[in-house]
């Protein structure tokens, strides 16, 4: 069985450290077996991961009428011109194999009466290709199966309740990681032959998000501070239909509801998406999010109406959403669900190649913490879990081929320090990001955000908050530099796409600092 401990063991540590206990981290650890691996997770594995909350499922071209080429075409279209086509082709081409891997780990994907995988359709997909579990429980079921398998795998050592803070470097070589027990305590240095960042997204840099609290951009901040190149940080996807009941995190009304015919209405009962986009409720997420944002800003409100399309079948077909609605006193069988956009997924992250390698030797990244180029400016629905398993497997293969098992090294407990981020500073940062680096942006707001971010003090030397602030600065700086609107990045002062910007963003922390110092005037980022 996997070794599960709450503090570093007195003996030697393993030579591969995976930071993150979500889908990407656990899948990578399993693919590395029987090589010894240590997984450091901020929460008990599976519990602090966005993967566990994913309702839609995994996209894979597995039906008779579908094809890898069709899946690729949909991915390219959603990505708004900045998808790395070679990477996306690799991802969708590996989809079926990774689904079979997950079946082998015991994931109970839904099947039809003939025993074939049941496939549903989501927004911007041209075919039914979403593999799911009980309608809206795919993420939880996948994580349950993987956690169970990981805990039975002797080569995987789990250290839960540790937050990664700093990457150790020797020149451009990453030689280990410093992590700290939560909610505070003495930092511990873990030397390593290879470090894999699988730290998830950035949701809790925003005041309204569907992500778990552990999604605070830590991996991206750590990598940037160590000198790694960051890609596409300005592209932030806001899920159009978070359930608007004042909860943090906000519960999600899955896109599959609209795929099954649910409509968006305002308080007057008007179906407003019909005049916004030819695909109406199944338009790309950024289009739907801005339309809902506009209805709310105009005082008309926004609601997801499932009464006719789903009706009495709601409790059985979408039990997770149904439970969230009932907890808020809403019966979705008979009442429209109030919705609002919420930060949901980050297309940006640590720049990686096809094998998950970053620009620093010894550092790999996978899952939402990485930016492979597969999503471009706007992720296609249910490609996120697919990307996590495809590239986690490639990371494991690359480490196995190029990083032989080295001398096992002992973790070192460092002098004490402060690890808890100041709650007031965190709240202020989240308010800044939502107000000025959110669904709709402009130059004045982005300059205001950069100045305010720099003014936030890192109280008591909290490295955890320093990582959050670093990631926020990278997002705002890249958003200020990109003087156009594309995908998940919308500038009210530059509302159209500019062909000159039909490219990815590659940026370092030093370049973000320069953009912030220059108030964005004339600044650009490397492409």
For the annotated catalytic residues, the residue numbers are 285
Beta carbons of 71 and 112 less than 8 angstroms apart: no
Would residue 102 be called left, alpha or beta, if left means φ above 0 and alpha means ψ between -120 and 50 degrees? alpha
Helix, strand, coil tally for the chain in percent (to 5): 35, 20, 45
Partnered with residue 209 across adjacent β-strands are 343
Task: Name the DSSP letter for residue 173.
Answer: E
Do 341 and 297 form a contact (C-beta atoms < 8 A)?
no
Report whether 201 contacts 369 (CB < 8 A).
Answer: yes
Nearest to 8 by CA among 202, 277, 215, 191: 191
Q: 114 CB contacts (<8 Å, ≥6 apart)? A: none
Residues 84 and 372 sit within 8 Å (Cβ to Cβ): yes
Which pair of tokens denotes residue 358?
Answer: 């970053």
| Sheet hosting strand 337-346, strand order edge to edge | 236-243, 337-346, 303-305, 263-265
CA–CA separation, 317 and 276 (whole Å): 29
Closest CA to 84 of 510, 512, 504: 504
Report the interhelical angle of 85-93 vs 95-104 (nearest 10°): 40
Work out the number of other CB atoms within 10 angstroms of the CB of residue 146: 28
Query: What is the C-alpha to C-alpha distance for residues 243 and 168, in angstroms, rounded to an integer?
Result: 41
Q: Residue written as tokens 């998808």?
A: 83
Cα(274)–Cα(147) distance, rounded to whole angstroms?
43
CA 521 to CA 443: how far, in whole Å? 9
**75 Rama sector, left if φ>0, alpha if ψ -120 to 50, beta otherwise:** alpha
CB 110 within 8 A of CB 58: no
User: Rounded to an integer, what distance in angstroms lies between the CA atom of residue 19 and that of residue 29?
Assistant: 11
Q: Which residues contact 73 (CB under 8 A, 6 or more apart)?
A: 126
Calpha distance 82→339 (Å, rounded): 29
DSSP 3-state assignment of 519?
coil
* Nearest alpha carbon to residue 285 among 490, 70, 472: 490
H-run or E-run covering 314: helix 314-317
């Amino acid at each position: 069985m996997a070794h599960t401990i709450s503090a570093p063991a007195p003996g030697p540590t393993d030579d591969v450290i995976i930071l993150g206990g979500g889908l990407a981290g656990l899948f990578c650890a399993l693919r590395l077996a029987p090589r010894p691996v240590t997984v450091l997770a901020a929460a008990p594995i599976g519990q602090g991961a966005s993967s566990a909350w994913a309702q839609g499922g995994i996209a894979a071209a597995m039906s008779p009428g579908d094809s890898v080429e069709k899946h690729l075409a949909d991915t390219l279209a959603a990505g708004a011109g900045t998808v790395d086509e070679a990477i996306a082709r690799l991802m969708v081409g590996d989809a079926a194999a990774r689904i079979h891997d997950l079946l082998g780990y015991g994931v109970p994907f839904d099947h039809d009466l003939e025993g074939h995988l049941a496939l549903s359709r989501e927004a911007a997909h041209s075919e039914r290709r979403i593999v799911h579990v009980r309608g809206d429980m795919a993420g939880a079921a996948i994580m349950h199966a993987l956690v169970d398998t990981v805990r039975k795998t002797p080569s995987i050592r789990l250290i839960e309740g540790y937050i990664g803070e700093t990457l150790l470097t020797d020149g451009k070589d990453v030689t280990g990681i410093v992590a700290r027990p939560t909610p505070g305590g003495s930092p511990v240095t873990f030397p390593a032959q290879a470090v894999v960042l699988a730290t998830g997204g950035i949701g809790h840099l925003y005041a309204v998000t569907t992500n778990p609290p552990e999604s605070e951009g830590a991996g991206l901040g750590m990598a940037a501070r160590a000198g790694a190149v960051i890609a596409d940080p300005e592209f932030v996807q806001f899920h159009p239909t978070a359930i608007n009941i004042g909860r943090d995190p906000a519960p999600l009304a899955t896109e599959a509801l609209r795929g099954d015919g649910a409509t968006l209405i305002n308080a007057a009962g008007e179906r407003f998406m019909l005049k916004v986009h030819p695909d109406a409720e199944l338009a790309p997420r950024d289009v739907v999010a801005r339309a809902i944002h506009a209805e709310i800003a105009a005082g008309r409100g926004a609601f997801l109406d499932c009464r006719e399309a789903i009706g009495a079948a709601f409790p059985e077909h979408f039990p997770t959403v149904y439970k969230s609605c009932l907890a808020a006193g809403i019966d979705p069988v008979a009442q429209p669900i109030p919705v609002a956009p919420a930060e949901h997924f980050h297309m940006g992250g640590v720049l990686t190649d096809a094998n998950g390698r970053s620009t620093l030797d010894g550092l790999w990244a996978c899952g939402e913490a990485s930016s492979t180029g597969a999503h471009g400016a706007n992720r296609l629905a249910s490609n996120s879990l697919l990307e996590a398993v495809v590239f986690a497997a490639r990371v494991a293969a690359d480490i196995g081929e190029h990083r032989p098992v080295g001398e096992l090294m002992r973790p070192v407990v460092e002098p004490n320090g402060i690890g808890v981020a100041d709650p007031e500073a965190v709240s202020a940062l989240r308010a800044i990001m939502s107000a000025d680096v959110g669904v709709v942006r402009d130059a004045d707001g982005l300059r205001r955000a950069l100045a305010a971010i720099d003014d936030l003090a890192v109280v008591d030397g909290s490295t955890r908050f320093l990582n959050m602030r670093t990631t926020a600065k990278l997002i705002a700086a890249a958003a200020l530099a990109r003087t156009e609107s594309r995908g998940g990045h919308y500038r009210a002062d530059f509302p159209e796409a500019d062909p000159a910007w039909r490219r990815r963003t590659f940026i370092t922390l030093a370049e973000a600092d320069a953009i912030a110092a220059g108030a964005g005037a004339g600044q650009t980022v490397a492409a």
